[in-house]
Chains A and B, each alone.
Chain A
Amino acid sequence: MERERPSVAERLVHALDLPPEVLLNVPKTTLIGNVQVLVENHLGLLQYDPRAMRIRTARGELVITGAGLRIGSILPRELVVDGRIVHVELRR
């Protein structure tokens, strides 16, 4: 098995104990109960309908499934999804 060598930024984050999302542009996903998902550092929507949402991120595709999904607000860095959340998955 070949291990990926960590990048400079990753090593810096690790060495200085910084929050990774600040430097690495990786998504930070916060799930609040089963009613809200907050995605920071998203790169846009791939698909949106009330049952499923696919969000592009620097680390792959974030898939949220549920019922009655709504976009509470969408800003360049931040996306708030409201609704009944059933499943959150990261696909590479």
Chain B
Amino acid sequence: MLVRRLWWHVRGYVIIRAYGRRLEALINGAVREGLALWDLERASSALLLGRAFAADYRRLARLGRRLGVRVDVVGKAGLPFWAAQARRRPGLVLGGAVFVGVLYWLAQFVWFVHVDGAQTLPPAAVLEAAAAAGLRPGAPRADVRREDVVRSLHLALPRLAWAAVELRGTVATVRVVERTEADPALTRPGHVVAVRDGLVERVVVTAGEPLVAPGDTVQAGMTLISGALTPGTRAYEERVQAGLPPVVRAAGSVLGRAWYRGYGEARPEDAAADDPAGASPAALTRAAVERARRQARASLPPEARVIDEEVVVVDDRGVEPGVVRAAVTITVLQELGRFSPLAAEEP
């Protein structure tokens, strides 16, 4: 059907109006003579609208005359008529051709350069590096060598992990992925030092050299695991062989006992007036111990495991009658070491 419609257009057709009584006879006669008709519509009993090939019109009109039917042309369509019209208006045709030509010519250039994926890098820097390799708005598409652009991007921007250029029509998209830099605070060398006075119970070293052993007592600030390697050790030699400074980021665990103290006191006059039992010696003692314990626990690190608690109660009636004082000492097992970076001395 589509092919047939195309054929009508290519050959050119006329829209006809047939006026008369013997319209069926006109149609039958046309068919018998091999004249194609289509889109016929009976507008009224004496009027028929339809289409026929332009080349057949004369024969159709002659047939109509024989049958007493007037066949008029009310419209023309198809390629031959368009061509005739175009010949009368060469300027329009030329304009159309120029338009298509210019459009085609303009499509040969890159007009837009987009940057995709720049997170910390300024897109302008990416564009600049791309422009240095010839990828800029106005550059002919054929002149853009993607490998060169990618190479230029990598040279200009060492922080790129990956780069690619995608050309789609007149739009070039520079896709980049930035290298994820390790946080320098996590790689800087240093020692593991004691956070608190304590008694070492267990030492596990994953990097560096241990300076303490189970049974040692340590003071807050002391180095427990050293990041500075001793000359002659295997780790030291490996670092030197690799051309690296013999200083590492010490890591490991130093578990030890530490002590936390708290003090509390309770006075009879603190007890609530409507609660006479609150002023009894036993209640005061409970309150004092509770305060001391709370104070001791306040500074306990969260991961500490309590292994012992010692309570000392002093009821010093001679000095201050009725006042109860208590001291609580909590013994815990906790991580004593904490990483401490060496003073920054990066170039």
Q: Residues of A with Cβ closer than 8 Å to B?
A: 44-50, 69-76
Q: Would B36 and A73 count as touching, CB distance under 8 A?
A: yes
Is B28 in contact with A49, judged by CB distance below 8 angstroms? no
Q: Are A44 and B38 in contact, CB atoms less than 8 angstroms apart?
A: no
Q: CA A27 – CA B119 in complex, angstroms?
A: 75
Are A70 and B28 touching (Cβ within 8 A)? no
Shortest CB-to-CB span from B287 to chain A, Å, is 97
Most B Cβ at <10 Å: residue of A49, A50, A74: A74
Select from chain A the residue with minimum beta-carbon distance to B43: A50
Q: Are B37 and A76 in contact (CB under 8 A)?
A: no
**Contact, CB under 8 Å: B34 / A45:** no
Contact B40 A75 (CB under 8 A): no
Q: Which of B34, B45, B50 is in CB contact (< 8 Å) with A71?
A: B50
**SS class, residues of chain B in contact with chain A:** mixed
A-B contacts, 15 listed (Cβ < 8 Å): A44-B31, A45-B28, A47-B24, A49-B42, A49-B45, A70-B41, A71-B27, A72-B39, A73-B4, A73-B38, A74-B27, A74-B31, A74-B36, A74-B37, A74-B38
- Partner among A46, A47, A71 whose Cβ is within 8 Å of the Cβ of B40: A71
| Binary contact track B87-127/A, C-beta < 8 Å → 1, others 0 | 00000000000000000000000000000000000000000
Complex: A45 Cα to B40 Cα, angstroms: 13
| Bound CA span A14–B95, Å | 65
Q: Is the CB of A71 within 8 A of B38?
A: yes
Which chain A residue has the least Cβ–Cβ distance from B49? A70
Does chain A have a CB within 8 A of B71? no
B23 at the interface (CB under 8 A from A): yes
B42 touching A73, Cβ below 8 Å: no
B 20-36 binary contact with A (CB < 8 Å = 1; else 0)? 00011001101110101
Q: Which residues of B contact A45 (CB under 8 A)?
A: 24, 27-28
Residue of B nearest to A45 (CB): B24
Tell me the nearest residue of chain B to A42, going by C-beta: B31
From A48, A75, A76, give the contact of B42 (CB < 8 A).
A48
Give 4 nearest A-B pairs by CB, closest first. Answer: A71-B40, A73-B38, A44-B28, A45-B24
Chain A minimum-CB-distance residue to B8: A73
A45 vs B42: C-alpha distance in the bound complex, in angstroms?
A: 13
Closest residue on chain A to residue B33 by CB atoms: A76
Question: What is the bound-complex CA distance between A85 and B57, given in angstroms?
Answer: 31
Chain B nearest Cβ from A83, distance in angstroms: 10
Q: How far is the CB of A5 from chain B (nearest CB, A)?
A: 32
